[in-house]
Amino acid sequence: MTNTNITNFRNNVFDYINQAVEFNDVINVSTKNGNAVILSEEDYNGLMETLYLSSNPQVKADILEGAATPLSECVSESDIEW
């Protein structure tokens, strides 16, 4: 995460936005009235998808169950038809 103040952000807005998009860096911009966070659209969409999936109790339970399953009990990737 990169921290900057609003004046520095304003003077270098292109560089900060590019840093967020190209390198998935999160930019924290401090102002007198509070802070703002700048992140790439890709990161934002990922967060929204995670929130959506986590809000469904069945999906959340399935994910937790899958994470707790030992690899020895999982299907081999070579056995999957994509």
For the stretch 28-76, pLDDT in tens is 999 999 999 999 999 999 999 999 998 999 999 999 999 999 988 988 8
Sequence letter at residue 4: T
Quote the CA–CA distance of 7 and 11 in Å, as a whole number.
6
Quote the CA–CA distance of 18 and 26 in Å, as a whole number.
11
> Out of 3.40.50.720, 3.30.420.10, 3.40.1620.10, 3.10.105.10, which CATH number does the structure's domain 2-38 have?
3.40.1620.10
Residue position matching structure tokens 């070579």: 78
Domain map (residue ranges) of the chain: 2-38, 42-69
> 36: closest CA among 48, 20, 50, 49?
20
Measured in degrees and rounded to the nearest 5, phi and psi for residue 25 equal -80, 145
Q: Has this prediction a pTM greater than 0.95?
A: no
